[in-house]
Amino acid sequence: MKIFLLLLLCAFQLPLVVQARPEYANRHGINRCTACHFSPAGGGLRNTNGKLYGSHGFKISKYASQDFVSAEMRFVHYNPKGDGLDSEGRGLALMAGIIGGSVAITPEEDSEATEIRAVFSHDVYNNTPWATYIRFRRYEDTQTGWLPQYIVAGRFHAPFGIMTDEHRTYVKLQTVSDYNKKLESGAMFSAQPYDSFHYDIAIVNGEANNATFANKGNAELWGGLANLRWISKYSWLPLTFGMSYKYYDQAKNQHKPWAASAYSLISLERLSGGWMRADLMFEYAQAKYLNDVAATSAGFPNATGTYYANILDSTSSGFFGQLNYYLSEKLVLQLKHDQLLYNRDYSADAYQKFGIGLKHYFAANSFFMYRWEKAEIGQPDEEKNPFHRAEDAVWAYLQVGI
């Protein structure tokens, strides 16, 4: 019976808080992120098409029917079931208040093919800089080619793994690709050689960080990122498959961190001809020399313990899976499985989370979500650590945007 329940939980997965929705792109067979977003890698500020799609059948206001300004507020009520550090942070909180804008620098009459656009966003509540960059478009989205179609220069969310702004999945923590905070500074090149194939390549300075400049000691650190994504155009194979890799060249005599990800999305709605309105998402990742950053961000394991010291140079592995089952276009059943091994050679030490919840869209680009999570820790010493921050919890989340 336990094996059956485990398989059921692994097969039906819950997405947490996401703004970029790659499952929607797979659902409709769209491989161009600029169909809904300004960033060619996906995520971040949405254009008018993205806002219209996010309306979920509700009327959209005149303030949202434009590309120039966007705004978003995020609230959360957190109720952990344990005695760890997170128990002290229970209650209602405003997570973020994000404002952003997009302005075409080139005149509209001269921008049929080429365009220069400024894109900026900022979390005014936390006074945290978000993506701010100049985007160069060299040819129209209706065209394909191997040479870069988009060139992005500035601070941007790097394309790694499934592009969502979920910041609590173990895979995001493990690979230091937290969409909410981890931005890169540099240049990114994106293109669509075929309608079914997309690539992003980035050259960055400093590890992903939340400051205006590179973190202390990282000014000499340069890195590269690559993301490849293929989406099937066949109705009998409603599949998206992608791979990501990033590598940082540290200063002399320092470790060189790297991370790799393979991910897939499956539209059960397209596969079943419309009678099963659901989609699946899976991601598997490995990383090395990032455990110190990942453990600090997650709050576990205990930074003063022996286990923490033993995993600093280990190769980690993580898994994330989720399913959305659309009870209607406005109500979604969500289930999830999340797993992290700081040392991939010791599977019994895994951190795991299982979750179930509902997401309800009550207005255009606005939703309420409620979910329950069950956490498990396999590492014996960490299971006894009262400050591991991997607790059972109930969440209520509200997001309103224009």
The count of other CB atoms within 10 Å of the CB of residue 2 is: 6
| Residue closest to 126 by CA, chosen among 53, 72, 197 | 72
Place of tokens 């930074």: 303
Place of tokens 């490849």: 228
SS (H, E, C) the chain: CHHHHHHHHHHCCCCCCCCCCHHHHHHHCCCCHHHCECCCCCCCCECHHHHHHCCCCCCCCCCCCCCCEEEEEEEEEEEECCCCHHHHHCEEEEEEEEEEEEEECCCHHHCCCCEEEEEEEEECCCCEEEEEEEEEECCCCCCCCCCCCEEEEEEECCCCCCCCCCCCCHHHHHCCCCCCCCEEEEEEEEEEEECCEEEEEEEEECCCECCCCCCCCCCCCEEEEEEEEEECCCCCCCEEEEEEEEEEECCCCCCCCEEEEEEEEEEHHHHCCCCCCEEEEEEEEEEECCHHHHHHHHCCCCCCCHHHHHHCCCEEEEEEEEEEEECCCCEEEEEEEEEEECCCCCHHHCEEEEEEEEEEEEECCEEEEEEEEEEEECCHHHHHCCCCCCCCEEEEEEEEEC
Q: Strand 197-205 to strand 331-341: parallel, antiparallel, or no bridges (unpaired)?
A: unpaired
pLDDT at 138 (0 to 100): 92
Whole-structure pTM value: 0.86
Q: Residue 182 in contact with residue 208, Cβ under 8 Å?
A: yes
As a whole number, mean pLDDT of residues 283-295 equals: 91
As a whole number, mean pLDDT of residues 109-133 equals: 83
Long-range pairs for 100-103: beta carbons < 8 A, 24 or more residues apart: 100/44, 100/45, 100/69, 100/70, 100/71, 100/130, 100/131, 101/45, 101/68, 101/69, 101/70, 102/38, 102/45, 102/47, 102/67, 102/68, 102/70, 103/68
Residue 213, classified by CB atoms within 10 Å of its CB into exposed (0-12), middle (13-18) or buried (19+), is exposed
φ, ψ for residue 86, nearest 5 deg: -65, -25
As a whole number, mean pLDDT of residues 65-81 equals: 86
Residue 79, classified by CB atoms within 10 Å of its CB into exposed (0-12), middle (13-18) or buried (19+), is middle
How does pLDDT run across 193-216, given as a tens digit for each residue? Answer: 999 999 999 999 876 665 555 555
Rounded Cα gap, residues 259 and 302, in angstroms: 23
Question: Domains along the chain?
Answer: 2-401 (2.40.160.10)
pLDDT at 89 (0 to 100): 63
Rounded Cα gap, residues 318 and 286, in angstroms: 6
Q: State the chain's mean pLDDT as an integer.
A: 83
| Residue closest to 225 by CA, chosen among 294, 276, 176, 296 | 176
Of 218 and 240, more confident:
240
As a whole number, mean pLDDT of residues 49-62 equals: 84
pLDDT at 43 (0 to 100): 83
pLDDT at 177 (0 to 100): 86
Of 247 and 180, more confident:
247
How does pLDDT run across 299-344, given as a tens digit for each residue? Answer: 778 777 788 888 989 999 999 999 999 999 899 999 999 999 999 9
pLDDT at 3 (0 to 100): 35
φ, ψ for residue 210, nearest 5 deg: -115, 20
What confidence tier does 246 reach under pLDDT thresholds 50, 70, 90?
Answer: very high
What confidence tier does 82 reach under pLDDT thresholds 50, 70, 90?
Answer: low
pLDDT at 253 (0 to 100): 64
Of 95 and 5, more confident:
95
pLDDT above 80 for 129: no
As a whole number, mean pLDDT of residues 357-361 equals: 94
| Residue closest to 160 by CA, chosen among 249, 256, 228, 231 | 228
pLDDT at 214 (0 to 100): 56
What confidence tier does 275 reach under pLDDT thresholds 50, 70, 90?
Answer: confident
What confidence tier does 100 reach under pLDDT thresholds 50, 70, 90?
Answer: very high
Long-range pairs for 211-218: beta carbons < 8 A, 24 or more residues apart: 212/129, 214/185, 217/251
pLDDT at 273 (0 to 100): 80
pLDDT above 80 for 296: no
Side chain identity, residue 79: N
Of 48 and 296, more confident:
48
As a whole number, mean pLDDT of residues 112-127 equals: 87
How does pLDDT run across 217-228, given as a tens digit for each residue? Answer: 566 678 899 999
The count of other CB atoms within 10 Å of the CB of residue 318 is: 28
Rounded Cα gap, residues 398 and 402, in angstroms: 14
pLDDT at 90 (0 to 100): 77
Percent of the chain at pLDDT > 70 equals: 83
Rounded Cα gap, residues 180 and 396, in angstroms: 18
Side chain identity, residue 285: A
Rounded Cα gap, residues 387 and 80, in angstroms: 13
